[in-house]
Each structure stands twice: as C-alpha cells, then as structure tokens.
Amino acid sequence: MRKIGILSDTHGYWDEKYLTYFEACDEIWHAGDIGSTEVAERLAAFRPLHAVCGNCDGGDLRRMYGEKLRRRCEEADILMTHIGGYPGKYAPQIKQSLFSNPPQLFISGHSHILKVQFDPTLNLLHINPGAAGLTGWQKVRTLVRLTVDGKQFKDLEVIEMPLHG
C-alpha cells in the first residue's frame, strides 16, 4: 500500500503547505508545468518524485523529465502526461496510447481544472489534480492524495488551498 500526493501546474510557485499536505505520502507525482528546477528539487528532497514536463517547462526540466511517464505503483499500471484531456475528450497526442494499452490510472494536468472521473470505456480512473500554483485563472489551488493498494485506488482526497495565504 502506497500513499500518493498528486499535483500539477505549480508554474514555479513553492508553497510550504505542499510538504504539510504530503507529509503522510510515500511518493509525490507532478503532472507537469513544474515551472522551475527548484520546485522539482524541493519536492524530490522531501519524497520520491515522479514527474512529467509540461508545455511551459523549459530545457532543464525537459532534460529531467519526459513528456509521458508509464510506470507501476504496487500492482497498478499508471500513465501520466501533462496535456491529456479527459474521458470522452482525450488529447490527440495521448489518445493512441490510451486506447491501444489503457492504464488503470491516467493522470494529466494542464487545464487547471480539478477532475476525478472514471472512464467506463477504457476501464480507467482519470485524475487531473487541478493547479497548485498561482499562475492561471483558477480561484482555488488544489492537490490530490490517494492510496494505491494492489490494483485498487482508494481514500482519494481533494485538498483545496486559497490563492493567497
């Protein structure tokens, strides 16, 4: 059983609350637009970090992280990318991968819209953790925590943080 903290779209913004909310987590997953190597390094120093680069991430972050990450956590198959869309409207650049070999959990960011949705067509759980940074139009910053137990995802929590303070 592994407790996972998921975030996206920090856009270079660091908040000490990330460490508070992810204290009980075994790993942190960042779904892109990290924004600075400092944010990635601080997260990685706290817990093992698995991340993808986003469309706003520059050269250093692109050298550190790929555009897609496919891995196993416990017994679950996970696919993470930054621009992924959501069930019924997957992004063209990821659609082929999803339909040819669906993961059990698909994570993407980019939209700054928190979304947790089951896709019955592909039998997968989709999570977009929303935006944890200040850049963008969102009114609240969000993080997600969940537990991966074998092939099951449970105890999913959404954490809301104000834009300022």
Buried b (16+ CB within 10 A) or exposed e, 37-75: bebbeebbeebebbbbbbebbeeebeebbebebeeebee
Structure confidence at residue 165 (pLDDT)? 54
Q: Which residues of the chain have pLDDT under 50?
A: none
The predicted structure's pLDDT at residue 45: 98
* Residue 164: per-residue pLDDT: 74
pLDDT at residue 25, rounded to an integer: 98
